[in-house]
Amino acid sequence: MRTQVAIIGAGPAGLLLAQLLHQRGIESVVLEARPREYLEGRVRAGVLEHQSVAILKAAGVGDRMMRDGLPHEGIFLHFNGRNHRIDFADLTGKAVMIYGQQEVVRDLIAARMAARQPLYFEVDDVSVSDFEWSAHRTDRPRVRYRMGGQEQTLDCDFIAGCDGFHGVCRQSIPERELTVYERVYPFAWLGLLAEAPPASHELIYANDSRGFALLSMRSPTVSRLYLQCLPEEDLNQWPDERVWSELQARLGSQLATGPVLQKSVTPMRSFVAEPMNSGRLFLAGDAAHIVPPTGAKGMNLAIADVQILGQALESYYRSGNTEALQAYSATCLRRVWKVQRFSWWMTALLHRFDTDNAFDQRRQLAELEYIVSSRAAAQTLAENYVGLPLS
């Protein structure tokens, strides 16, 4: 089999890239290790930047998001027993959209099916090769995989590595070509999805002496809540009642409780691999970088990467010009590092670090006080949260 762009991974990055290419008349094949039901049911991030909303709408997959998504014009910071609002609309003229990642994935899969374009689930043993970029080559990048017990080969012009942090694409790049920058945090988030009306109409990020907590939501009847915990936290030690009372204590809000639909522990890491390509293999999304979830940036970074990659591929297929493709990594990384900085900063601002002493805790609170009392400081948070421009 042969295609123009082989896309490995059907998360937000791979699926959106496939849709952007299809809109531009560029062929692709998407290969995904997991079954469709798994992808559509997996609960993950939920905040879309202003610009991500515009990209999804322009990609023709915005209808359900505009109908069911919840536009938010601000967030609350909770500390010293009080909520303080950061007003995005006033500070930036922009808003974000609450819409679950698995809903974005569902919309993109539906679009791919409607377009009758190839998207294969439950594909095994994917390997990528021959992606070096040499002016004299006649051979092409190649993807091998197994589907329904049969070995398959896919020849292509380019490979898009959209296969997440644990995927094969980044690992297939020779080690000497990549520099990895990483920080692993000494805490994790215990996440709860519950059938309970959210106690606030906007998100609450809490810095409490017991640790960080976050109140988020998926709809007017479904709450998404998080608690700072240990990376090795044993969920058996956290029966629902304990989680609710801990959330209540940290958020300082009277929470409506309800049936718990899902409970999990997410480790926290900052990670960047540079450059984001090797020859004709381009990494996008979690395959290239991970942010701690405090700034709500993971899905948005994936969307920005493939928007840039889609434009670069379009320019190549229109005119044969490889300039934008050659610049892909540098273009993405300029923004990725700013978003890494913001995600690290939000994390450092709101969590308890076991190495912190009383001085550090006072300093954190002073910084929060500063943010809510200075328009300039609030604006810095707001413009990053609603999303920095693509370039």
- Dihedral, CA atoms, 316, 320, 323, 324, nearest 10 degrees? -10
**Among the listed residues 4, 27, 34, 90, the single contact to ligand APR using CB under 6 A:** 34
- Select 117 or 379, whichever has its Cβ closest to ligand APR: 117
**Residue of the chain from 50, 78, 112, 224 that contacts ligand PHB (CB under 6 A):** 224
Contact 71, 65 (CB under 8 A): no
Q: Scanning residues 167 to 196, which ones bind ligand PHB (CB under 6 A)?
A: none
Please choose which of ligand APR, ligand PHB, none residue 198 contacts, taking the beta carbon within 5 to 8 angstroms, the exact cut-off set by kind.
none
Angle between helical axes of 298-319 and 50-58 (0-180°, round to 10): 40
Burial category of 54 from C-beta neighbours within 10 Å (exposed 0-12, middle 13-18, buried 19 and up) = middle
CA distances from 162 to 66, 184, 241, 265 (A): 26, 22, 38, 23
Say how far residue 284 (Cα) sits from the centre of its chain.
Answer: 11
Residue 251 within binding range of ligand APR, rule CB under 6 A:
no
User: Which residues are CB-neighbours of 256 under 8 A, at least 6 positions away?
Assistant: 196, 197, 199, 223
Say what the alpha-carbon torsion angle 224, 228, 233, 236 is, to the nearest 10 degrees.
Answer: -40
Which position among 168, 193, 217, 333 is part of the footprint of ligand APR (CB under 6 A)?
A: 168
- Over the window 258 to 297, marking each residue x when it contacts ligand APR by CB under 6 A and - when it does not, the resulting string is ---------------------------xx-----------
d(CA 346, CA 360): 15
Where is 41: in which H helix or E strand? helix 36-41
Rounded least distance, CB 28 to ligand PHB, Å: 29
Q: What's the min distance (Å) between Cβ of 284 and ligand APR? A: 6
Least Å from the CB of residue 225 to ligand PHB: 9
Residue 294 sits in the site that holds ligand PHB (CB under 6 A): yes
Assess 59 for contact with ligand PHB (CB under 6 A).
no
Catalytic residues: 72, 205, 293, 297, 385
Residues that bind ligand APR (CB under 6 A): 8-14, 31-34, 39, 44-45, 101, 123, 126, 162-164, 167-168, 285-286, 298-299, 302
